[in-house]
Amino acid sequence: MSFKRTIYAVDTHAGTPMRVITGGVPHIPGNTVFEKMKWLEENDDQLRKLMLREPRGYPAHCCNIIVPPCHPEADAGYIIMEQIEYPVMSGGNTISVVTVLLEMGMLPMQEPVTELVLEAPAGLIRVKAECRNGKVKNVTFQNVPAFAAHLDAVIEVPHLGKVTVDVGWGGMFYVIADVRQFKGLELKPEHGREITRVSSMIRQAAIEQLPVAHPDYPGVGITISQLSGPTEDPNADWKNAVTMASGDFSWDDPATWTGALDRCPCGTGTSAKMAVLHAKGELPLHQDFRHQGLVNNIYTGRLIEETRIGEHTAVIPTVTGTSWIYGLNTFVLDHDDPFTEGFTIGDIWA
């Protein structure tokens, strides 16, 4: 049979589904993985939409493409694709990519620990994977430097009033708010609709009121939000709910005041939260930080050293977590299919 596109992928999850494309993508030019990502964004954004929108995806879906590395130290490269952007880094997706590379035999597995280097758009990511009986039991990666861009900033959020937030970079710029500011709102699945409503409004207000800049990524601003709060689980230190945008936001259209909840504890979000806590003097170096997601699984973070990013004091985080393979798929685009970029409908999408 003949198809317009044929894509081979391994589906994984750590709560959130994170697809890993292993074949079917033509050569992507570029001298770095960052350049490959930018080329894809400008020349073949159809692939991202096709994989993440209906009928092949849904609002909380993420996707990655395995690509040849450009850096001589790297064992593999990967491009991260999400609903509204191409992040330069993602923790959960990194864990999923490592799991696929090793469990599918794309890179050799060494037990009990496999060490490898990946090239993300953000640069080299050093990884240690604990392996046993042919399975990846957990993945620890050293993230890009993280830093606090704003601490205890008060923003005016339409319909919510004044909200105190932090903004941290952990591979993406997160606006972070303590959930206890919102009466009756708790970090639990049954409050998911209200979490996304509040979080999307906070994100948009922060975009408008809190300028941010990263010296390596001009023009990258706040794109994601995190509600944070205490947990009753003795095995965790904080609980979080990260809301990813699933479409455009308009203050004039309440139907757009929503998003998709990250079902995993979020690696870049954990890194941003740790950077904020460290800047406030509440999290020292070399101390485990157990971050719990909405479905109660946990990523364990740790700050291993201080550094600088431009004018900011920064920290180097590590994050440990687990992802699981749940599907081996061949996706196709029929020549007669009119929905060449997939589609979204307002019952579940912004």
**For residue 208, what is the enclosing H or E element?**
helix 192-209
Sorted by sequence, the CB contacts under 8 Å of residue 108 that are 6+ apart come out as 114
Q: Which of 63, 90, 228, 264 is catalytic?
A: 90
Measured distance CA(38)–CA(34) in Å, rounded = 6
Collapsing DSSP to helix, strand or coil, 23 comes out as strand
Residue 227 to residue 240: CA distance in whole angstroms = 6
Length of the chain: 350
Calpha distance 187→181 (Å, rounded): 12
Q: Active-site residue among 131, 228, 266, 323? A: 266
Quote the CA–CA distance of 242 and 227 in Å, as a whole number.
6
Terminal Cα distance for the chain, rounded = 36
Question: 101: closest CA among 62, 72, 67, 51?
Answer: 67
Nearest to 86 by CA among 40, 19, 150: 40
Helix (H, G, I), strand (E, B) or coil at 319: strand
Q: Which tokens belong to 272?
A: 């941003």
246 carries an active-site annotation: no
d(CA 183, CA 202): 15
Which residues carry out catalysis?
Answer: 90, 266
